[in-house]
Amino acid sequence: MKKLLIATCVAAAAVMSAGPVAANDELLVMEQNPADWVSPTGNYANHRYSGLAQINADNVGDLKVDWTFSTGVLRGHEGAPLVIGNMMYVHTPFPNKVYALDMDQDGAIVWRYEPKQDPDTIPVMCCDTVNRGLAYGDGKLFLHQADTTVVALNPATGEVVWKVQNGDAKIGETGTSAVMVVKDKIIVGISGGEFGVRGSITAYNMKDGSLAWRGYSMGPDSDTLMDPEKTTHLGTPVGADSGTNTWEGDQWKIGGGTTWGWYSYDPELDLIYYGTGNPSTWNPTQRPGDNRWSMTIFARNPDTGMAKWVYQMTPHDEWDFDGVNEMILAELEIGGKMRKTLVHFDRNGFGYTLDRETGELLVAEKFDPAVNWATHVDMKTGRPQVVDRYSTRHQGEDVNTTNICPAALGTKDQQPAAFSPKTKLFYVPTNHVCMDYEPFRVSYTAGQPYVGATLAMYPAPGGTHMGNFIAWDATEGKIVWSNPERFSVWSGALATAGDIVFYGTLEGHLKAVDATSGQELYSFKTPSGIIGNVMTFMHGGKQKIAVLSGIGGWAGIGLAAGLTEPSDGLGAVGGYAALSNYTALGGQLTVFTLP
C-alpha cells in the first residue's frame, strides 16, 4: 500500500498548493496520470482514452498474456478494474465481491470484501446480475451493491467506512451502476424500470454517506428539481408541472425512467450529465402522452441537483429504447466554431451531438443504417419522426409489430464508447439487431415485473452478423469505418495515444484495431465472452491492457441464467441462442503486455 499512499499524497499536495481543495480536485489530478486508471470510464468526460503509447500499431500484434485472475463468480462481468499505484481493485457481479490485488507481489490478494446480500435480489435484476464497477475519491472506494446498498471502503484494508441504502429491492429497485465522485459528493442512480419503479439520481455526502439531494426523473417540480422558468428544453423553459402533465393521472409514480448508466461531469460548467431510461410499462397504450422526463438527457448542478436543461430523445417510447447510455464530453469544431459538446449514442439508433452548456441540438443522425422506426429527428422540435409501420402503439395491444430496427436492446446499450482527442473520432460498440414487438395489458404489483410486451430478436436485414464496431464523426453525424462482428459488441471500447483501439467480443476475443482505418491488428480469445470494458495502465515500466471476461448481460442472459425459451430474457435468449456454440460461463481478468 505504500505506493498507493504516496501517489495519493502527491496528488493531494499538488492541488492544495493551488488553493482550496474540494474532494474531486484530487481525482482531477490523478486522472492526468495515464499510468493509473482511477475512475470507471477513465475521466470525468467519459473519454475512455489513455495517453499511454508504449503499445502501438507497430507492436500490438506482439501482445501476450501477462497474468490472469479468477473472480470466483459465474455471471456477466461488466465494468473494469481500477488501478491506483501498485494496487488493482477488481469487482464482480452479484454478490459484488471486491478484491484488492498487490501487483508488486504477483497479484497477491491484500483483502477481499464479500457482502452478504439477500438472494431474493437476483430475480428482480432485469438483465443479469451485473455491476459496472468501483469508484475512488477522498481516500475511499465506493461500491453500489445489487441490493442498492452504497458502501464506502477503506482502500488499504477493505473495511467499511460507511454504508447507506439507496433503494428497496422488494419493490424492484436494484443497483447495477458505478457511482461517480463529484466534489464532496458521490452520484448514484437506480435500476428497475421493468418493475415500475420511479427513476432517480441521488447525491450522498462523501464524508459520511448522508443524503445531499435526490432528483427524480418524473413527478412534481419539487421532485424533479426543476425551475419551471429556468430549466429549459431546447432553449424553451419547461414550464410548471412538466414532470407530471404528460402522464395520465398518477402513472408517473410508477413511471420508470431509471438511471443505471454512466455519468459525466464538466468542472468548468459545474454540471453533471446522465440519461434516463424507458417509461413503464413497455405497453405504450397504457401510458398515453410524452411521458416526460423518461428517455431524457439531464444537465444538473452537482451541489443542489437543480436541472439546468433537459432533452427528451424519444417521447412516449414505444420500443424500450432506454436513454441511459454515456454522455461523452468533447470540444469539437462544428460549423466553423469550437463548441463544448456532449455526444450520446442512444439506444434508439441516433447519435446526438449537443451543446453541453445550453442543451442546443447540433447533430442527430443514425449510427446504423438499419434503423427504421423513425426517418429522422426534427432539428427544431428535437422529435424523432416515427414511421407508422413500426409504431407499436398504432398497431395496438396484442398485435405483433415485426421487423423493427433496432431491437429493444438498442443500436448500442450501456457498453461505453471511446473518444480519441488525436483522431477526433468516437469508437462505438454496436448491436445490429431487429425485433418483433407485441404489447399486452399488464397490471402493476410492487416487486413484480411490469413489462407488458413479448419480444423476438434477430439479425438486421442484409446479413447474419449482429454487431458492428464503428468509428463515428460526431461533427457531421456519419460513420467513418465499420467492422462487422458475428454477435453484438457488448464490451466498452478503449482508445490510446498509440493510435489503436481495443474492444471485446461476445465470443471472448480481445481485439485491437487501427484508430484511423479500423484494420484489425490483434485478436486473442479469452476464456469467456467479453462484456467488460477494456482498460490500460502502467506497472513495472510496461503498459498493460486488462479486460474482464464472463459472458452475461442482456445479450448473454441465456447462458448466464440458464434460460432456454426463445422469449426469455425479454427476447434475447432466442436472438443469441448461437452464443453457446462459441463460449461458456466464466469470471476472469486477463492482463496483457508486450514481451
What residues are annotated to the active site? Answer: 320
- What SS3 class is residue 580? helix
453-to-207, 284, 398, 401, 449 alpha-carbon distances in Å? 43, 10, 9, 11, 11
Q: Can you give the residue range of the structural domain that contains 519?
A: 2-593
Q: What is the pLDDT of residue 25?
A: 85
CB 538 within 8 A of CB 85: no
Q: What is the pLDDT of residue 23?
A: 53
Q: What is the grid cell recorded at 438?
A: 407485441
- What SS3 class is residue 11? helix
Alpha carbon distance 36, 458 (integer Å): 40
Alpha carbon distance 496, 35 (integer Å): 12
**Which amino acid is present at 283?**
N
Q: Crossing angle of helices 23-30/2-16, nearest 10°?
A: 110
Alpha carbon distance 539, 561 (integer Å): 36
Alpha carbon distance 224, 246 (integer Å): 14
Per-residue pLDDT for the chain (595 aa), expressed as one digit of tens each?
A: 444 443 444 343 333 333 334 557 889 999 999 999 999 999 999 999 999 999 999 999 999 999 999 999 999 999 999 999 999 999 999 999 999 999 999 899 999 999 999 999 999 998 999 999 999 999 999 999 999 999 999 999 999 999 999 999 999 999 999 999 999 999 999 999 999 999 999 999 999 999 999 999 999 999 999 999 999 999 999 999 999 999 999 999 999 999 999 999 999 999 999 999 999 999 999 999 999 999 999 999 999 999 999 999 999 999 999 999 999 999 999 989 999 999 999 999 999 999 999 999 999 999 999 999 999 999 999 999 999 999 999 998 999 999 999 999 999 999 999 999 999 999 999 999 999 999 999 999 999 999 999 999 999 998 789 999 999 999 999 999 999 999 999 999 999 999 999 999 999 999 999 999 999 999 999 999 999 999 999 999 999 999 999 999 999 999 999 999 998 898 999 999 999 999 999 999 999 999 9
Q: Which residues of 21-55 are buried (b: 16+ CB within 10 A; e: fewer)?
A: ebbbbbbbbbbebbbbbbbbbbbbbbbbbbebebb
What is the count of structural domains for the chain?
A: 1
Q: Residue 442 sits in a domain of what CATH number?
A: 2.140.10.10
Q: What is the pLDDT of residue 307?
A: 98
Q: How many CB atoms lie within 10 A of CB 463?
A: 10
Close Cβ partners of 394 (under 8 Å, ≥ 6 residues apart): 388
Burial of 232 (0-12, 13-18, 19+ CB in 10 A): buried
Q: What is the pLDDT of residue 22?
A: 57
Q: What is the pLDDT of residue 463?
A: 74
